[in-house]
């Protein structure tokens, strides 16, 4: 009966423009339960948390079908509450919001956010103490840090409301990937994510895989045994999956997989097909950032949908102005939770496009086309740009010969190309040089190398290393 009553779920999940997890956060904050391990381990405490997360997850299963207008109303209310709280609790945001001249008492239009200056990672590095809330107990919060894969590593804080809310969106990701009761979820060579690591809530089993080549074969055999009676759902980096697929093929290891979810680095269409064919299951992309959480995930129709109940996503130009749907620009994110350290109009360092067309899956959540990191673009001496998608399109035509590639920009007009050749039979380097030079345009020098494997950078596979990424120490 409850599942049929949408208004009830909207009420319990978004009462007073806050998710239900906020109210549990208030209990934790007042009673100091979070730092008390004895109380935290009590069955009643855990069951109450589970109930809060269960209700939130059920509400999210309903809200993904809400109309665009209904989602916008929720977002306007959440952003209005966020801005009011940030102005009241944070010295940094009090000053920045005052400069924006937004009337916080009557915030009724998301386009008003454009008046607020974009929050850059360097600003967080320099002004962390001013950004953090003056009135929340920092000892009740969690300090974390980004990996720096988008260019600028920094420390940040998240509160209990942020953490508790993450679980519902994590469940949504696995639901979309076909997770069924009894399946085991495997974290394969990837860092824990908030909302993911509590196995008694999200899944019954977790296996951590070290991202070291020598361990892969042994771990894959362990997974074959683990999945002998139950389906596995794997969560991993794309680069880890490519290595695992190659070893599974070489050693004829069969895994009983339901699906695979990947994040952290990009895969070409040819690489996706290779992984899916090797493991015999569907691959799903997940766009998540360590600092601002679960932004978007891929549906069964292959489109990335923004989690509109968690965040508001803008695509903007270099001046922070919103671009029309369909145009490529910087991905800017505002998340609705995390009073300890609000992320408002935060520059993720990624490039993407918001699409206007409805998705065939029927969900009303906005569709985002992810293009890559800011450093994943070749900027040539004549001003032309090539994205990782552009390069992938070229290399797909050579997929019969090339098993992997890496493009390193040494200078504006000089590229080093690392190629993994499947078979030398029929591959002609001179023809490859001619066609690639024609694709890029005149005046570009190429150096072709044939390493035994594509080298990882910081535990991730970097297919494209641009000159700007090297100069800014983003690799």
pLDDT for residue 376: 63
Fold for domain 159-290? Answer: Rossmann fold (3.40.50)
Confidence of residue 37 (pLDDT cuts 50, 70, 90): very low
Band (pLDDT 50/70/90 cuts) for residue 298 is very high
139-148, 249-258, 330-339: least confidently modelled range = 139-148
From the number of C-beta atoms within 10 Å of its C-beta (0-12, 13-18, 19+), residue 167 rates as: buried
Average pLDDT score over residue span 438-446: 87
Does position 28 have pLDDT exceeding 50, yes or no? no
Q: Is the pLDDT of residue 471 over 60?
A: no
pLDDT score for 161: 85
At 147 the pLDDT is 56
Question: Is residue 255 within 8 Å of residue 225, measured between CB atoms?
Answer: no
Query: Strands 367-373 and 346-355, how do they pair?
Result: antiparallel
Higher-pLDDT residue of 56 and 376 is 56
105-125 confidence digits (pLDDT tens) = 999 999 999 999 999 988 998
The predicted structure's pLDDT at residue 240: 77
Q: What is the pTM of this model?
A: 0.76
Question: Any idea where the domains of the chain sit in the sequence?
Answer: 2-115, 159-290, 377-471
Give me the mean pLDDT over the 23-46 stretch: 47
What pLDDT band is residue 236 in, cutting at 50, 70 and 90? confident
Q: What are the tens digits of pLDDT across the range 171-229?
A: 999 999 999 988 888 887 676 667 664 443 333 333 444 444 556 777 788 888 878 88
pLDDT at 302: 96
pLDDT of residue 207: 40
* Percentage of the chain modeled with pLDDT above 90: 43
Q: Which residue has the tokens 């040819």?
A: 270
- Residue with the larger pLDDT of the pair 76 and 48: 76
Give the least confident one: 1-5, 267-271, 338-342, 376-380: 1-5
Whether the predicted pLDDT of 268 surpasses 70: yes
- The whole-number pLDDT of residue 211 equals 41
pLDDT at position 350 over 90: no
- Mean pLDDT, all residues of the chain: 81
* Cα dist from 442 to 190, 260, 379, whole Å: 41, 41, 14
> What is the distance between the alpha carbons of residues 279 and 153, in angstroms, rounded to a whole number?
34
The predicted pLDDT at position 100 comes to 96
Please say if the pLDDT value at position 49 is more than 90.
no
Distances (CA, A) of 205 to 182, 218, 222, 240: 10, 18, 13, 20
The reported pLDDT for the residue numbered 21 is: 54
User: Closest Cα partner for 226 from 253, 199, 191, 261?
Assistant: 253
Angstrom distance (rounded) from CA 76 to CA 74: 6
CATH superfamily for 377-471 is ANL, C-terminal domain (3.30.300.30)
**Domain 377-471 in the same topology as domain 159-290:** no
What pLDDT was estimated at residue 153?
57
- Closest C-alpha to 236, from 181, 195, 193: 193
Query: Which of the two residues, 165 and 207, has the higher pLDDT score?
Result: 165
The whole-number pLDDT of residue 39 equals 43
What the block records as the tokens of 199 is 């196995």
Strands, sheet with 304-306, edge to edge from the N-terminal-most edge strand: 208-209, 184-188, 232-237, 257-263, 282-289, 293-298, 304-306, 367-373, 346-355, 329-335, 311-316
pLDDT at 449: 93
């Amino acid at each position: 009966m409850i599942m049929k009553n949408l208004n009830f779920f909207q009420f319990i999940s978004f009462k007073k423009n806050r998710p239900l997890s906020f109210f549990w956060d208030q209990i934790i904050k007042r009673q100091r339960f979070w730092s008390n391990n004895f109380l935290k381990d009590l069955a009643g405490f855990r069951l109450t948390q589970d109930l809060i997360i269960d209700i939130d997850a059920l509400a999210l299963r309903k809200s993904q079908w809400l109309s665009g207008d209904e989602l916008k109303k929720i977002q306007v209310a959440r952003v209005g509450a966020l801005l009011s709280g940030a102005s009241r609790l944070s010295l940094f945001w009090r000053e920045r919001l005052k400069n924006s001249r937004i009337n916080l008492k009557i915030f009724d239009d998301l386009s008003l956010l454009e008046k607020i200056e974009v929050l850059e990672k360097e600003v967080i590095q320099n002004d962390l103490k001013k950004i953090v809330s003056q009135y929340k107990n920092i000892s009740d919060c969690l300090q974390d840090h980004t990996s720096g894969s988008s260019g600028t590593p920094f420390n940040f804080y998240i509160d209990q409301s942020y953490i508790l809310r993450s679980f519902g969106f994590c469940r949504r990701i696995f639901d979309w990937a076909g997770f069924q009761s009894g399946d085991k979820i495997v974290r394969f060579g990837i860092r824990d994510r908030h909302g993911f690591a509590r196995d008694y809530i999200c899944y019954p089993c977790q296996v951590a895989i070290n991202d070291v080549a020598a361990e892969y074969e042994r771990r894959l055999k362990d997974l074959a045994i683990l999945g002998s009676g139950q389906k596995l759902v794997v969560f991993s980096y794309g680069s880890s999956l490519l290595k695992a697929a190659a070893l599974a093929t070489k050693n004829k290891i069969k895994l009983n997989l339901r699906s695979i979810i990947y994040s952290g680095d990009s895969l070409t269409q040819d690489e996706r097909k290779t992984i899916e064919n090797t493991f015999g299951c569907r691959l799903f992309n997940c766009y998540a950032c360590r600092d601002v959480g679960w932004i978007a995930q891929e549906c069964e129709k292959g489109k990335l949908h923004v989690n509109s109940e968690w965040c508001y996503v803008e695509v903007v130009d270099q001046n922070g102005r919103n671009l029309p749907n369909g145009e490529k620009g910087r991905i800017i994110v505002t998340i609705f939770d995390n009073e300890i350290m609000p992320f408002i109009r935060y520059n993720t360092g990624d490039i993407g496009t918001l699409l206007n067309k409805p998705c065939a899956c029927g969900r009303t959540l906005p569709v985002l086309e992810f293009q890559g990191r800011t450093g994943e673009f070749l900027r040539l001496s004549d001003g032309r740009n090539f994205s990782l998608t552009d390069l992938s399109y070229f290399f797909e035509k050579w997929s019969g010969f090339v098993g992997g590639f890496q493009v390193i920009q040494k200078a504006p007009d000089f590229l080093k190309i690392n190629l993994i050749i499947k078979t030398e039979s029929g591959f002609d380097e001179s023809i490859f040089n001619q066609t690639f030079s024609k694709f890029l345009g005149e005046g570009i020098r190429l150096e072709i190398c044939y390493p035994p494997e594509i080298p990882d950078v910081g535990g991730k596979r970097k297919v494209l290393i641009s000159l700007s990424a090297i100069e800014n120490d983003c690799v």
